[in-house]
């Protein structure tokens, strides 16, 4: 019997890889890039199994799952989730998902999971699936932590200040996140993003990074390329994807005069705005070869002076009212 499987993902490259792996195993495969396309296909022809990405454009994977279980309850759905998304993965299981896969999806695990779901005599145990999901995501978190440490150490070989700076930015950013009562997943993104925000400086010469005097205009233009260099480095690893907005946009300003893309307030994610504030405060209060550290009181006045233009005013107020500058 030839089974018809639908694989969904908004990235064409991932859809192609899934299609190739499943086709080689003898399955008939259709692919969809968004929810409306999937729903149209389901209404037109029989489908035996769906690989459903949780983070789909326009209609989320969870919303699609609810609709599929309501209109086509006989079709098993395997959710595809990224690392660190345990809460969403567990919710998907409780909404009727048959199993899950974590990105990046390996061929052996893909075919094993598909075969088990297609031939399962009974619906799989939700508790068992949740346990497997938790274990897999824990392993991916360990891999992520090791990767962050490796990048941090690599950068420290060129510029020891940058590593210490990133650790301090992490502590300040997480403290701001906790004061905002952000969930643990977003705090993890803040922590990882802080450690990686300057990773692009790996591509900047040591002569510029460690220059004991003020940079020239031309040298500063070179330094300003580090966000885009950082994105090129980190984008090779899918498990670092949640940190890319922080890496690329931590020098953007609310008034649109930042770099590299001149984003304005509504275009800058909250996590990026938090990192930007923590980054600037730490930089002002740390000594550099070409200048002394500013006293904390003067750094706070700088935050106030640039509130609403460079920094999110609500975050500046929170930072001061909660006395997070004392950390």
Query: CB burial class (10 A; 0-12, 13-18, 19+) of residue 269?
Result: middle
Tell me what pLDDT residue 86 has: 59
- Edge to edge, the sheet with strand 77-81 lists 28-32, 4-8, 49-53, 77-81, 99-102
Is it the case that residue 153 has pLDDT exceeding 80?
no
Is it the case that residue 54 has pLDDT exceeding 80?
yes
Confidence of residue 58 (pLDDT cuts 50, 70, 90): confident
Confidence of residue 147 (pLDDT cuts 50, 70, 90): low
Least confident of 103-112, 116-125, 130-139, 199-208: 130-139
Residues 177-232 have pLDDT tens digits of 999 999 988 998 999 899 889 988 888 888 888 888 888 999 999 999 999 999 98
Catalytic residue ranges? 201
Residues 262-293 have pLDDT tens digits of 999 889 999 999 999 999 999 999 987 667 89
Is it the case that residue 303 has pLDDT exceeding 90?
yes
Domains of the chain in sequence order? 4-136 (3.40.50.2300), 158-326 (1.10.3210.10)
Tell me if the bond preceding 231 is cis, omega within 30° of 0.
no
Both tokens of 20, joined, read: 């190739």
Is it the case that residue 132 has pLDDT exceeding 60?
no
162-176 mean pLDDT:
90
Tell me what pLDDT residue 120 has: 78
Tell me what pLDDT residue 205 has: 87
Both tokens of 117, joined, read: 């779901």
């Amino acid at each position: 019997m030839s089974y018809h499987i639908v694989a969904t993902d908004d990235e064409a490259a991932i859809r192609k890889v899934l299609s190739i792996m499943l086709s080689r195993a003898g399955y008939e495969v259709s692919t969809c890039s968004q929810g409306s396309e999937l729903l149209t296909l389901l209404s037109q022809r029989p489908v035996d199994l769906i690989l459903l990405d949780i983070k789909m454009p326009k209609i989320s994977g969870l919303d699609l799952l609810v609709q599929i279980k309501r209109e086509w309850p006989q079709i098993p759905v395997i959710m595809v989730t990224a690392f660190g998304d345990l809460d969403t993965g567990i919710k998907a299981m409780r909404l009727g998902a048959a199993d899950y896969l974590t990105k990046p999806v390996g061929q052996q695990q893909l075919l094993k999971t598909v075969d088990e779901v297609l031939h399962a005599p009974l619906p799989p145990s939700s508790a068992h699936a949740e346990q497997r999901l938790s274990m897999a995501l824990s392993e991916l978190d360990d891999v992520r932590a090791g990767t962050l440490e490796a990048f941090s150490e690599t950068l420290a070989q060129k510029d020891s200040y940058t590593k210490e700076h990133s650790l301090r930015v992490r502590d300040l950013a997480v403290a701001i996140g906790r004061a905002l009562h952000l969930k643990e997943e977003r705090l993890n993104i803040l922590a990882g993003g802080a450690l990686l925000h300057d990773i692009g400086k790996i591509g900047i010469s040591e002569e510029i990074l460690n220059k004991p005097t003020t940079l020239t205009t031309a040298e500063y233009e070179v330094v300003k390329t580090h966000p885009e260099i950082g994105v090129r480095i980190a984008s090779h690893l899918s498990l670092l994807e949640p940190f890319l907005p922080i890496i690329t946009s931590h020098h953007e300003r609310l008034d649109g005069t930042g770099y590299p893309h001149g984003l304005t307030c509504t275009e800058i994610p909250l996590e990026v705005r938090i990192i930007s504030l923590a980054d600037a405060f730490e930089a002002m209060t740390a000594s550099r070869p070409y200048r002394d550290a500013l006293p904390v009181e003067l750094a706070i006045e700088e935050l106030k002076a640039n509130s609403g233009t460079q920094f999110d005013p609500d975050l500046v107020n929170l930072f001061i009212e909660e006395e997070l500058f004392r950390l």
